[in-house]
Amino acid sequence: MKAKGIDQMDPSAKEGSGAIRHHDYVILGAGLCGMYGLYRLLEIDADVVVLESHEDLGGTWFKNRYPGCRFDSESYTYGYSFSPEVLSEWSWSEHFASQPETLSYLNYVAQRLDLRKHIQFGSQVSSAVFDDELTLWTVTLVDGRRFTCRVLLAALGLLSAPVKPRIPGVETFAGSSFHTYDWPEGVKLDGKRVAVIGTGSTGVQVISSIAADVDSLVVFQLKPNWCAPLNNSPITTAEMEQIRGSYTDIFSRCDATPGGFVHGPDPRSFWEVPPEERRALWEKLYAAPGFGIWLGNFREILQDEDANAEFSAYIAEKICERVDDPQVAAKLIPKDHGFGVNRVPLETNYYEAYNRSNVELVDLEHTPIIEINETGIRTTHRQFDFDIIVYATGFDAITGSYDRIDVRGVGGISLREKWADGPLTYLGVQVAGFPNFMMLGGPHSASVATNFPRAIEFSVKWVSGLIAYMRGRGCNRVEPTEEAEAEWTDHIRELYQRQLLRNSTSWFTGRNPNIDGHDKTRYLIYTGGAPRYRKTLNEVANDEYRGFHFS
């Protein structure tokens, strides 16, 4: 029997004329999160459509096609856990899969679960406006099409609003230039003079990957990041069989760790372990695959300045060992923050790229860029000419994809304006004044700082539970109270204070020199760890969804 659709509670919601299409639920975004949201809603026979701005599914993995783009989550911890069929049929070929493989995986899932027919591609949303009287959202696309829905679910991605640098003359360059997020098809790099601006995780992957292919590569570095080896390797058929047989254990392990990875903090106290033993652990972690070096280390490294300084010195030594020219090595060692305070890029031969004769590092702290001009980039030191300029300059993180849509709640209140100084949410799920607008892995949720698929599976299930509860009570509207929202937002701020991450000047704290008003810390992320986040949200659910108002 078809489940009772939310709109059946109030047939007037079906009103609408002409080109307006109504669905009970509209999901924004057909990436990893939107796809799972769709699957869950289809399971309850809901009337749902997904609106995706791009020409195909995959979100982050559809868009990021730059050379070297790959996971730094272990592949088998990144796949969906909910489908036994998918788990038994799909084989990963590398411990950290490349972007093409991940995109193939998502396409395979969509085909296996028959999701495509519910997704409308090329549907870029310009606004979403709530009608208080009808309890109805109207979603308008840039091409003028309109949809109405009772519940609007945002699966907009964390890093999907790319930002180019604010450098004078950026539009005057006569060669080819693009942001890594918009890497054009068919770019030929061999024999080309290439610039890369930016040394975050993306820049590090691009630089390592293209250094040997290009004629010359100049890296423009504002500030270095602490990088560590990915230590990737192929997965053999036998290994994959073994992984397949261990999925229950793998996902339990991910559930038990703060980051949702297989790597959890070392249970010992940094100070109680003798220095030689600490070093032995670090040597092991440095040679091991994945984020163990960051997340499988002593907790104090992320909380205590002295512990952090000692470990940072260890990583600095490694950089010096790997980079031939001591002056270049010195430029690659961060001075303004310790290891792990910003997002740690995992790399493959990144530092070795600087030992190549065709690669040059420009330290913008000493010789800033003055302008980009027709032939290249001019710093305070000299002019560099290029065929290609690559902007690996990051994103308007977490809230950027929301800000691009004019979301209006009760009384026309603007989400963009409400969040001007940073997001305000209850549990990272809803915003006061925006009834029936639900975020699947939005700001202030655990998805932002942890292994994304593990976190969004929880968030999607939790939101499904909230919807089921609302329907079960015969209600058609839910929103958080102002008090609950203020309390949660304060909690997010307070959690930041417990970690050295509070000192980050990266997207973790929403600081971005290329965006107006983003020069102060924005509290974007739930930093209390995934298990605690899940516990809190489950308690809220068990307590009749305290903090939410149903009507």
Q: Which two tokens stand for residue 448?
A: 């932002």
Residues 131 to 160 in contact with ligand NA7, rule: CB under 6 A: 159
**Which of residues 54 and 164 has its CB atom nearest to ligand NA7 in the complex?**
164
In the set 79, 292, 376, 394, which binds ligand NA7 (CB under 6 A)? 394
In the set 75, 297, 393, 489, which binds ligand NA7 (CB under 6 A)? 393
**Which of residues 223 and 532 has its CB atom nearest to ligand NA7 in the complex?**
223
**Which of residues 177 and 506 has its CB atom nearest to ligand NA7 in the complex?**
506
Cβ at position 24, least distance to ligand NA7 in Å? 33
> Phi then psi for 435, rounded to 5 degrees?
-60, 145
**Which of residues 273 and 370 has its CB atom nearest to ligand NA7 in the complex?**
370
Separation between Cα atoms, residue 240 and residue 246, nearest integer Å: 10
Binding letters toward ligand NA7, positions 395-424, x by CB under 6 A? x-----------------------------
Residues 6+ apart with CB under 8 A from 17: none
**Which of residues 244 and 502 has its CB atom nearest to ligand NA7 in the complex?**
502
Binding letters toward ligand NA7, positions 207-226, x by CB under 6 A? -------------x-xx---
Binding letters toward ligand NA7, positions 351-390, x by CB under 6 A? -------------x--------------------------
In the set 127, 140, 514, 536, which binds ligand NA7 (CB under 6 A)? 514
Long-range interactions of 420-423: CB distance < 8 A, separation 24+: 420/517, 421/517, 421/520, 421/522, 422/510, 422/521, 422/522, 422/523, 422/524, 423/398, 423/399, 423/489, 423/522, 423/523, 423/524
DSSP-assigned states of every residue in 78-136: HS-SS-HHHHHH---SBSS-BHHHHHHHHHHHHHHTT-GGGEESS--EEEEEEETTTTE
**Which of residues 452 and 488 has its CB atom nearest to ligand NA7 in the complex?**
452
**Which of residues 165 and 547 has its CB atom nearest to ligand NA7 in the complex?**
165
In the set 197, 316, 407, 460, which binds ligand NA7 (CB under 6 A)? 197
Q: Does 200 bind ligand NA7 (CB under 6 A)?
A: yes
Count of CB atoms situated within 10 Å of the CB of 500: 20
**Which of residues 202 and 527 has its CB atom nearest to ligand NA7 in the complex?**
202
Residues in a beta bridge with 437: 152
Residues 6+ apart with CB under 8 A from 313: none
- Total residues binding ligand NA7 (CB under 6 A): 23
C-alpha dihedral (320, 321, 324, 327), degrees to nearest 10: 10
**Which of residues 39 and 507 has its CB atom nearest to ligand NA7 in the complex?**
507
Q: Does 343 bind ligand NA7 (CB under 6 A)?
A: yes
**Which of residues 220 and 270 has its CB atom nearest to ligand NA7 in the complex?**
220
Q: Does 22 bind ligand NA7 (CB under 6 A)?
A: no
Cβ at position 482, least distance to ligand NA7 in Å? 32
* Contact present, 221 and 331 (Cβ < 8 Å): yes
Count of CB atoms situated within 10 Å of the CB of 175: 16
In the set 203, 260, 265, 480, which binds ligand NA7 (CB under 6 A)? 203
Q: Which two tokens stand for residue 436?
A: 């029936």
Cβ at position 384, least distance to ligand NA7 in Å? 14
Give the DSSP letter of residue 73: S
In the set 77, 98, 202, 208, which binds ligand NA7 (CB under 6 A)? 202
* Structural Rg of the chain based on CA atoms: 24
At 164, which helix (H) or strand (E)?
A: none
In the set 75, 123, 177, 201, which binds ligand NA7 (CB under 6 A)? 201
Q: Does 506 bind ligand NA7 (CB under 6 A)?
A: yes
Residues in a beta bridge with 414: 408
Could you tell me the CA-to-CA distances from 144 to 19, 119, 123 in Å, in that order? 9, 18, 10
**Which of residues 66 and 90 has its CB atom nearest to ligand NA7 in the complex?**
66
**Which of residues 8 and 505 has its CB atom nearest to ligand NA7 in the complex?**
505
- Interface region with ligand NA7, contact rule CB under 6 A, candidates 147-155, 194-202, 426-434, 524-532: 194-202
The closest of 244, 29, 8, 4 to 115, measured between CA atoms, is 29
Q: Does 507 bind ligand NA7 (CB under 6 A)?
A: yes
Q: Which two tokens stand for residue 31?
A: 């990436």
Separation between Cα atoms, residue 61 and residue 345, nearest integer Å: 17
In the set 513, 538, 546, 551, which binds ligand NA7 (CB under 6 A)? 513
Cβ at position 196, least distance to ligand NA7 in Å? 10
- Interface region with ligand NA7, contact rule CB under 6 A, candidates 39-47, 264-272, 376-384, 391-399: 391-399
Query: In this chain, which residue has its C-beta nearest to ligand NA7?
Result: 200
The closest of 267, 341, 259, 333 to 297, measured between CA atoms, is 267
**Which of residues 63 and 444 has its CB atom nearest to ligand NA7 in the complex?**
63
Give all strands (DSSP E) within 187-345, no chain letters: 193-197, 216-221, 228-229
Give the DSSP letter of residue 467: H
In the set 31, 59, 68, 198, which binds ligand NA7 (CB under 6 A)? 198
The closest of 16, 17, 34, 33 to 25, measured between CA atoms, is 34
Residues at the contact surface with ligand NA7, assessed by CB under 6 A = 159, 165, 167, 197-203, 220, 222-223, 343, 364, 392-395, 506-507, 513-514
